[in-house]
Amino acid sequence: MSAERAYGKIILREYIVTIRQSNKVIRKRVTAINPDAARAGSQVYGDVINVKKAPLTFGGVFKSFLGSIPVVGEKFSSFATKRLSANDRFQFFQTLSNFLKGYTVDESLRMMSENFSNPIKRVCNEIRMLPSEDFADQLSVLSEKDFPPIIVEVIRANSKVVSLSETLIEAVRFERKLIEIKKQDRLGMFMAIGYFLGACLAMIGLWYSYPLLEDMKYFDIIPKEGASRDSLNFLLWLSEICYIASKYLLYAWFGIVILLWQGRWFLPIATDRVLLRIPLLREVMLLRDNFLACYQVGVLVEKGIELKSAIEQVERSLSSGALKTDFNRVLKLMVSGAPDWQKGFYSFSDLDRALLMSAGSSKEVAQVFQAQADQFLLNHRNGMKWLSIWHIAVSAIFGLILIYALTIIMFLPAAGGLQMVDEY
């Protein structure tokens, strides 16, 4: 069956197909190159009764109108298009993998487009509109927000040694591994930060509660002199110290967070260079990125991707900063034929660079990058652990003081009353 083409792409149109099943009649909106293709493809669902063009909706007319304006249409399409999330991508790959066990790629994509809603439906139709070629090449034409280059390269590498069905499942495993690694240790860190912020705010709240208690004449029963008044004065002094400490700790904490966030946004390279000189922040904020980059390079090279190509793909996925600059520098050294391209990783330690230079074959390069990734991950986790311990230690100190203060406040009036009885 010949397909209509425009600029090398297949033209797909939407049709409403009426289908009779065993005990009911259903209607499906399908995409096909012509009515005959829509009828033939829909027979898998039952007996086709009728095929007609799908009417244009108001949204469709509006999109078509904007699409006719070159610049506006392109910007609107980019803004309005819902991209694949990681879960959408998992569902797309897993479903397509299962379909490929009994259908061709085009048949599988057609049935998926008829049974999924956007954005999976959109992606299926976009791939079907591309000329038939290598599946990884088709994905590489689509938006990187739908299929990141690193995932496309994993598919390309695996498709050389196993079936496309198995390749897609391997891509799911790879991306899930990356997501799992990114999430590791975050929960504990967030809990520690929550304890820290809660303890600081509680100490500030304690200090501001004293004027309210005085307005309620809560402390009037306490004599002006004696053990009870001394305990109250000590409590007020201790609370003031903790109030000042909490306030400045919060100022410092939020200041560092804002400066680092804004710095990595506006001056990423300069900020990363500063972070490289601060041990704990280096482990927490930079080494996880180093781990992910080395892990991805190691996996791609292990799958048979050329080292230079693997580094190019990983570099495209990196955010601006010292590590991305390192990868750009290494690529330039490779293009110039420099044998010591490993020295381009300025953000790595001398030991890290020496280990990379020790590798000879592609297999050894993959092993060294993966070993480096493991070491970066270990150091990152240690940094996260110590930073969590610091937050929890401050929280524990303030928490104990808060418990002490609340206990004293609760029993001071009673103690003051007993003191007055003894005096009389």
In angstroms, the Cα distances linking 389 to 58, 263, 379, 395 are 57, 26, 15, 10
Q: What is the pLDDT of residue 56?
A: 60
% of the chain at pLDDT higher than 70: 87
Q: Residue 415: is its pLDDT beyond 80? A: no
Residue length of the chain: 424
Q: Is 382 exposed, middle or buried (0-12, 13-18, 19+ CB in 10 A)?
A: middle
Average confidence (pLDDT) over 291-302 = 85
Q: Can you tell me whether residue 6 is helix, strand or coil?
A: strand
DSSP string, 367-404: HHHHHHHHHHHHHHHHHHHHHHHHHHHHHHHHHHHHHH
Full-model pTM:
0.64
Sign of CA dihedral 415, 419, 422, 424: negative
**Tens digit of each residue's pLDDT (9 = 90 or more) over 110-169:** 889 888 888 898 999 889 888 777 898 889 888 888 998 888 888 887 887 788 999 899
Q: What is the pLDDT of residue 418?
A: 60
Query: Domains, the chain, ranges and CATH?
Result: 5-80 (3.10.20), 86-178 (1.20.81), 184-424 (no CATH)
Q: Can you tell me whether residue 359 is helix, strand or coil?
A: coil
Confidence at 72, pLDDT banded by 50, 70, 90: very low
**Tens digit of each residue's pLDDT (9 = 90 or more) over 374-388:** 888 888 888 888 888
d(CA 407, CA 389): 27
DSSP string, 128-182: HTSPS--HHHHHHHS-TTTS-HHHHHHHHHHTTTS-HHHHHHHHHHHHHHHHHHH
Average confidence (pLDDT) over 401-409 = 89
**Tens digit of each residue's pLDDT (9 = 90 or more) over 277-295:** 877 778 877 887 888 888 8
Confidence at 30, pLDDT banded by 50, 70, 90: confident
Q: Residue 389: is its pLDDT beyond 70? A: yes
Is residue 300 within 8 Å of residue 313, measured between CB atoms? yes
Is residue 185 within 8 Å of residue 381, measured between CB atoms? yes
d(CA 135, CA 405): 67
Lowest-confidence segment of 222-236, 271-285, 409-423 by average pLDDT: 409-423
d(CA 236, CA 225): 15
The larger pLDDT score, comparing residue 135 to residue 179, is at 135
% of the chain at pLDDT higher than 90: 17
Amino acid at site 246:
S
d(CA 421, CA 230): 18
Q: What is the pLDDT of residue 21?
A: 77
Confidence at 239, pLDDT banded by 50, 70, 90: very high
Radius of gyration of the chain (CA): 32
Q: Residue 57: is its pLDDT beyond 60? A: no
Average confidence (pLDDT) over 236-249 = 94
Confidence at 5, pLDDT banded by 50, 70, 90: very low
